[in-house]
């Protein structure tokens, strides 16, 4: 896809997220909106995959560690053809394939079940190590994590293992939006200097604007050229990107307002209106 199409895809994903949350009546808002550009780049350009053959052995693997942001992944998958977009309205329903946290056995195309934070990088490291053992280094493993979950010790055990074994077939993408459920990450438990920490564990580190699709693509391409080192892409994002009254506000991590249902619907419909206006603006900028 061209950059223009990927930008439009990202905005479509954001609209899908809001529509899904309206239908579900609950769920996480800020994180999924902030990750839309990254998931548009991954599913629209970076990943080697086939929506018609989700179990294709030579596909790249994508592990979503912070599973609560899965609406962005469901929306991206539906947009590129893994399942009908109409199914997005079943988010969080009893018996649905689209649960509030991804369940690998429910939906083809998911590589892991995630909920407990901090476990995704260990899973990705195990996969990358197995592919290397099998002589299949051409299969790349991508792991998307939140920044708040980097406060989990398991992440750093995985970082040591991956660095020690020089798993250059693994790329980690950190959603560095600087918020978590209780407030700013640097107030709750500081993470900086984040890049230097991964470098100390033997990783190649790239920092990008997580809303610049060309930068995201370039970083993923650069990772393929790094010899005998895993790559950590620190993607600086804005939580709630695309909706002005959600951006930067940690209270929208998981939005459950104290007001009545009509207040919630009003907010979400306002968000959807903003995103539809933005869609037209993106189109006009490329004409």
pLDDT tens digits, one per residue of 9-26? 999 999 999 999 989 888
- 281: domain CATH number is 3.40.50.970
Sole residue written with tokens 């991804």 = 102
What's the pLDDT band for 95 if we cut at 50, 70, 90? very high
- pTM of the shown model: 0.93
Share of the chain above pLDDT 90, in %: 77
Output the CA angle 131-132-137, nearest 5 degrees: 80
How many domains in the chain?
Answer: 1
Burial of residue 101, with CB atoms counted within 10 A of its CB: 0-12 exposed, 13-18 middle, 19 or more buried: middle
From 16-30, 54-68, 149-163, 260-274, the region with the lowest mean pLDDT: 260-274
42 and 219 in contact (C-beta within 8 Å)?
no
From 22-31, 34-43, 253-262, 270-279, the region with the lowest mean pLDDT: 253-262
- Mean pLDDT, all residues of the chain: 92
Give the pLDDT mean for 75-89. Answer: 98
Q: Which of 101, 154, 168 is nearest to 123 (CA)?
A: 154
Domain coverage including residue 58:
3-285
What's the pLDDT band for 167 if we cut at 50, 70, 90? very high
Give the pLDDT mean for 225-236. Answer: 96
Name the residue with higher pLDDT: 274 or 80. Answer: 80
What's the pLDDT band for 258 if we cut at 50, 70, 90? very low
Q: What are the structure tokens assigned to 186, written together?
A: 């640097």
Residue 273 has pLDDT above 90, yes or no: no
Q: What are the structure tokens assigned to 271, written together?
A: 């968000």
Q: In what order do the strands lie in the sheet with 61-64?
A: 61-64, 141-146, 170-176, 231-236, 204-209
């Amino acid at each position: 896809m061209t950059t223009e199409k990927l930008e439009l895809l990202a905005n479509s994903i954001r609209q899908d997220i809001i529509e899904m949350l309206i239908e579900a009546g609950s769920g996480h808002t800020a994180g999924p909106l902030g990750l839309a550009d990254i998931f548009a780049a991954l599913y629209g350009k970076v990943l080697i995959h086939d929506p018609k053959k989700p179990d294709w052995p030579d596909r790249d693997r994508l592990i979503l560690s912070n599973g609560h942001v899965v609406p962005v992944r469901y929306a991206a998958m539906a947009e590129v053809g893994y399942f009908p977009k109409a199914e997005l309205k079943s988010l969080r329903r009893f018996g649905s394939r689209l649960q509030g946290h991804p369940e690998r056995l429910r939906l083809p195309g998911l590589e892991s079940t995630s909920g407990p934070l901090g476990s995704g990088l260990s899973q990705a490291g195990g996969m990358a190590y197995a592919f290397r053992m099998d002589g299949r280094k051409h299969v790349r493993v991508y792991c998307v994590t939140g920044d708040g979950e980097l406060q989990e010790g398991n992440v750093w055990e995985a970082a040591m293992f991956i660095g020690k074994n020089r798993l250059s077939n693994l790329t980690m993408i950190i959603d560095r939006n600087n918020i978590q459920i209780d407030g700013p990450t640097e107030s709750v438990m500081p993470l900086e200097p984040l890049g230097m920490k991964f470098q100390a564990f033997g990783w190649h580190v790239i920092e990008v604007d997580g809303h610049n699709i060309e930068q995201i693509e370039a970083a993923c391409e650069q990772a393929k050229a790094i010899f005998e080192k895993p790559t950590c892409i620190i993607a600086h994002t804005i939580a709630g990107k695309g909706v002005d009254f959600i951006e930067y506000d940690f209270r929208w991590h998981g939005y459950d307002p104290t007001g009545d249902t009509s207040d919630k619907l009003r907010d979400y419909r306002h968000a959807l209106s903003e995103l539809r206006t933005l869609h037209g603006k993106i189109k006009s900028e490329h004409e």
